[in-house]
Amino acid sequence: MSYDRVEVPADGERITVDEDGELDVPSNPIIPIIYGDGIGKDVSPAAQQVLEAAAEATGRSINWMRLYAGESARERYDENLPEETVEAIREHRVAIKGPLTTPVGSGFRSLNVALRKKLDLYANMRPTYHLDGVPSPVTHPEKMDMVNFRENTEDVYAGIEWEAGTDDAERVREFVEEEMGFGDTIHDGPVGIGLKPISEFGSKRLIRQAIDYALRNGRDSVTLVHKGNIMKFTEAAFRDWGYELAAEEYGDEVITEDVLWDEYDGEAPDDVVVVKDRIADNMLQQLLTRTEQYDVLAMPNLNGDYLSDAAGAQIGGLGIAPGANLGEGACLAEPVHGSAPKYAGEDKVNPTAMILSGRIMLEQLGWDDAADLVRDAVEATISSGKVTYDLHRQIEGGTKLATSEYAEAVVENIHELA
């Protein structure tokens, strides 16, 4: 595809997908990058520098393809999400982006959500693990080593709502109470109404991503997190479809928690993933009280939002929390945090979340050696006390670095560790 306002690197090669649906990655791939809004202009170049160093240290190269969304797109295209930005990510398969702010009256609820939907990136993956030296509010943050898979396209985030006081909301109320027979379920007066779609298709493909990840990475369990005790036809269905999928597609690679105790006395066989489920509010408690018992979580959209942020708090907060959106042969990595516009351009914020999101991107490329270098170098930098202002104010005897200086320190550690 040709692009009007985007330059395609001349030296790089495009990532493709083979006949089995797996990524075919050259040693010099073209990787689209959106810097994003606010602090994106600080953290994205920092992440680029680190990821380039890790690729070069392992005998590869990254050829960056700069794309535009949000403020930068308005300047260049006079719109927030140009179609050639979407098409470039679709064509090149693997990309990374900084945080985006959705302006009022833009036609989008969220630019981030719009990108996920347009590209059908249905699984939001958020690994949560503690790095030595990062301050944490819990006593044993090292017990947290969890990967959350959050469904990206359904649930209340599907955006099917009617505003209180509108004719449409009243028509929905009338339909629910009179035609569907729910009587006086809804209070009198103005009321906002929303729909919560959770499908078998959407649930199973998300849970399949979680189980496949657990099997590939030697993880012990996948926990389906739901509120099925109350929402029996949506969240309980999510749970049921998960167990159904495990039984239909994975054979003896997967067992349920009931089988674990009935047949194995609680000791799982090697190379088997245990599928279990927990009520969402109980799971929030168990994140703290039984952290080490949970490995991979699979959740509908809203539960995933809550649980991943709560898990991130235990290992130091969203400033270091990475994420990525996955689809069929596609990945768009992005940090969990927002755009924090008041700090934009000050060269002070922590780029670790963006860097570690890039680490997920490297794993999706199959460059595990480069990904491990990134993690180890980030940890070595932080544990030595070389940190940005947010962590510096929480530790004693550290060295406060600017965003760019921190990236340079991580690169130095990559060279030492390689």
| 221 is an annotated ligand-binding site residue | no
CA-CA-CA-CA torsion sign (270, 276, 280, 281): negative
Q: Is 341 helix (H, G, I), strand (E, B) or coil?
A: helix
- The amino acid that residue 281 corresponds to is D
Last residue of a domain, one of 314, 331, 365: 314
- The amino acid that residue 385 corresponds to is G
Do 73 and 146 sit in the same domain of this protein?
no
Do 118 and 30 sit in the same domain of this protein?
yes
| Domain that includes residue 308, residue range | 137-152+199-314
| 145 is an annotated ligand-binding site residue | no
| 393 is an annotated ligand-binding site residue | yes
Three-state secondary structure readout of 222-251: EEEEECCCCCCCCHHHHHHHHHHHHHHHCH
Do 236 and 345 sit in the same domain of this protein?
no
| 397 is an annotated ligand-binding site residue | no
324 bridge partner residues: 125, 333
**CA-CA distance, 241 to 238, in Å (whole number)?**
5
Q: How many domains does the chain have?
A: 3
Q: How many residues does the chain have?
A: 418
Question: Which residue in 49, 105, 38 sits closest to 378, CA to CA?
Answer: 49
b/e per residue, 246-260, with b = 16+ CB within 10 A?
beeebeeebbebeeb
**CA-CA distance, 215 to 262, in Å (whole number)?**
22
| 112 is an annotated ligand-binding site residue | yes
Do 282 and 214 sit in the same domain of this protein?
yes
| 338 is an annotated ligand-binding site residue | yes
Do 301 and 346 sit in the same domain of this protein?
no
**CA-CA distance, 276 to 238, in Å (whole number)?**
12
Q: Is 199 helix (H, G, I), strand (E, B) or coil?
A: coil
- The amino acid that residue 323 corresponds to is G
| 350 is an annotated ligand-binding site residue | yes
For 32, list phi and psi in degrees, rounded to 5.
Answer: -65, 145
| 342 is an annotated ligand-binding site residue | yes
Do 143 and 241 sit in the same domain of this protein?
yes
Last residue of a domain, one of 314, 344, 377: 314
- CA 86 to chain centroid, in Å, comes to 18
Last residue of a domain, one of 269, 296, 314: 314
Q: pLDDT tens-digit profile of 130-140?
A: 999 999 999 99
| 219 is an annotated ligand-binding site residue | no
Structure tokens at 240: 């049921």
Do 348 and 360 sit in the same domain of this protein?
yes
**CA-CA distance, 10 to 13, in Å (whole number)?**
8
| 404 is an annotated ligand-binding site residue | no
Q: DSSP E strands: which ranges in 91-238?
A: 94-97, 123-129, 145-151, 161-162, 193-194, 221-226
**CA-CA distance, 288 to 310, in Å (whole number)?**
9
In the numeric block, the tokens 């009321």 are attached to 191
Do 295 and 308 sit in the same domain of this protein?
yes
Cβ distance 272 to 252 under 8 Å? yes
CA-CA-CA-CA torsion sign (163, 164, 167, 168): positive
| 28 is an annotated ligand-binding site residue | no
Do 329 and 389 sit in the same domain of this protein?
yes
Characterize the bridge pairing of strands 324-327 and 123-129: antiparallel
| Domain of residue 359, CATH code | 3.40.718.10
Question: Which residue in 228, 345, 327, 209 sits closest to 280, CA to CA?
Answer: 228
Characterize the bridge pairing of strands 123-129 and 145-151: antiparallel
Q: Which residues are catalytic?
A: 157, 227, 281, 305
Q: How many helices (H) and strands (E) does the chain have?
A: 14, 17
Half-sphere exposure of 61 (CA within 13 A, CB side): 8
Which element (helix H / strand E) includes 408? helix 403-417
- CA 21 to chain centroid, in Å, comes to 21
b/e per residue, 350-367, with b = 16+ CB within 10 A?
bbbbbbbbbbbbbbbbeb
Do 60 and 123 sit in the same domain of this protein?
yes
Do 342 and 288 sit in the same domain of this protein?
no
Splitting the chain (418 residues) into consecutive groups of 10 residues, what average pLDDT does each group show?
88 94 95 96 98 98 96 92 96 96 68 90 96 94 96 90 94 91 88 96 98 96 97 97 97 95 93 97 96 96 94 90 95 93 95 97 97 98 96 93 98 97
Q: What's the DSSP call for residue 27?
A: S
List the alpha helices (DSSP H) in 119-225. 167-174, 200-216
Do 90 and 185 sit in the same domain of this protein?
no
Q: pLDDT tens-digit profile of 1-60?
A: 788 899 999 999 999 999 988 999 999 999 999 999 999 999 999 999 999 999 999 999
